Structure 1
C-alpha cells in the first residue's frame, strides 16, 4: 500500500499544474473548458479504465483533486480580473473617461487610415469642430464639477444626434470634433446647426444656458490631414470672432 500511495502522489501531482498553464496561455473561457475536460479525462482514465484499487486510489488523491479544483477556480477568477483590467486600460487608451468621446490620439491613429481610404475611393469626409462659449467663465463661476457636468451633457446631446458611423472626439479641454465619413460639408453644416439649437435650448442646471460655436470643413482633393484640421480650426475661430453661438463653413 505504501508503494501505491507514493505512486499516486507522484503520478498525479503534475496534472494539478495544468490549469495554471492553461489560464496563462488562453482566454478564461477556453482555459476553463480545457481544464474541466482535462481533469475529467484523467479521472476517467485512471479510475475507470485502470480501475485497480479504485477507492484506495481515490482516498489518496483527494487532496490533489481538491488542489486541482482550487487551481481551476483561482485561475478562472484571476483571468477574469485580468481581462477586466485590460478592458479598462484599453478604454483609458482610446476614450475620454469624462465624456465617453474618443481621445485625440486614438482619433488621429484611426483617422489616418480613413483619410487614405477616402482619397483612394473619392468619397467625402467632413469634420465639425466645436467649442463651448465662455467655458472658462463657467468653471470660474460655478466650479469645475459644474463644468464637468456641462461637458458630459453636451457630449450626450451630440452622441444622441449623430449616426453610428460618426465619431465624437474630445480634442482638448472644451473643444470637440465630430468625424463624418461619406458626408459633404453641406450635410455637416445642417447637422452642426441642429446640434447648436439643441444645446442652446437645453438647461444646464445651476449654469443655466450654454452656447457652442461650430466650424465645418470638408476634405478637398489635395488636402492632407493637417490641411483639413487647420481649415476646420480656422472657421471655428471665425465663428467665435463673429459673435459665437453660430456655425461657420469653410469655403
Structure 2
C-alpha cells in the first residue's frame, strides 16, 4: 500500500501550521502554545484521513488474494499506456496467463491450496517482470500482464522465461503447475483492449490445445 494520501495530508497540515506559526511570530512576536498543540492534533487527524484514503485507493485497485491489480485498475491504466505508446511509437504487449487444470488442484487438495498457488504465481510474476509492467488478476485463475515498450526478446518469445519459472515453482511446492499463455501486440494486432484480449485468449487456448495434444501422442 502506498503512502500518497498520508503524505499529502501531512504536507497540507504542516504547510498550513507553519504558515500560521510564522505569521504569529513575525507580526505578534511570540509563538502561542495553543497553535503548537493544535498542530500536533491536526497532524494526527491528517495522518488518519490520509490512511483512510490510501486504504480505499488500495482496495479499489488491488486484488486482495494475490495483491495484483484488478480489472478496475486495468480499465484505468490501459488508455494511458496506449496513449504513451502512440506518443513514443512503441509497442505494448498484453500477456494472458491461464493456470492449467486449476480445478483439479482445488479438487485434489483444497481451495486453500488453490489460493496458495495463485499467490505464488503472483509472486513469480512480480519477480519476473519489470517494475514498469502491470500484473492484473483477470479472472479466477487468469492473469493479464501489460508490458509497455518491450524489448525484442519479448516480441519474439514472450513465453519461454515464464515456463522456466513455473517449473521452479512446481518443484518448490511439490505440485505440477503449468500455464498456458497467449499474447497480443498493440498496435500490430489491435488497438482496443477488448480486441487484444480476445486475440491473446485465442492464442492461449491454442497453446493449451497443443500441449494436450502432445501429451496424448
TM-score range (shorter-chain normalised) is 0.7 to 0.9
The answer to whether the aligner puts 1:140 opposite 2:122 as a matched pair is: no
Larger Cα-atom Rg: 1
- Deviations, residues 106-135 of structure 1 (Å, cap 9, x unaligned): 112211232244345542222111111111
* Distance verdict in 2 for CA 1:42–1:187, change over 3 Å: closer
CA deviations over 1:44-73 (Å, ceiling 9, x no partner): 75576xxxxxxxxxxxxxxxx665444322
CA contact (8 A) 2:9 2:49 kept: no
Counterparts in 2 of 1:144 and 1:185: CA distance versus 1, 3 Å: farther
Question: Unaligned 5+ residue runs, structure 2?
Answer: 1-7
Match of 2:11 among 29, 41, 44: 29
Does residue 1:177 correspond to 2:159, yes or no? Answer: no
- Residue matched to 2:168: 201
Indicate the SS of the match to 1:200: helix
Q: Specify the alignment match of 1:87 in structure 2.
A: 54
1:107/1:228 Cα in 2 relative to 1: closer, same or farther (>3 Å)?
same
Give the TM-score normalised by structure 1: 0.69
Q: Tell me which residue corresponds to 1:52.
A: none
Residue from 118, 124, 128 that aligns with 2:91: 124
| Counterparts of 1:243 and 1:29, CA distance in 2 | 55
Could you tell me how far apart the structure 1 residues matched to 2:34 and 2:83 are?
A: 55
Indicate the residue corresponding to 2:199 in structure 1.
231
Cα distance in 2 for partners of 1:137, 1:222 equals 34
1:241 pairs with 2:206: no
Q: 1:29 to 1:228 in 2, by over 3 A?
A: closer
User: Are 1:127 and 1:188, in contact at CA under 8 Å, matched by a contact in 2?
Assistant: no
Shift of 1:40: 6.4
The corresponding residue for 2:45 is 78
Distance (whole Å) between structure 2 residues aligned to residue 133 and residue 36 of structure 1: 59
Higher RCO (CA-CA < 8 Å; seq separation 6+)? 2
Contact between 1:213 and 1:240, CA under 8 Å: does it hold in 2?
Answer: yes
In the TM superposition, what is the alpha-carbon distance from 1:158 to its structure 2 partner?
Answer: 1.3
Gaps of 5+ in 1: 1-25, 49-64, 247-251
Query: CA RMSD, aligned part only?
Result: 2.9
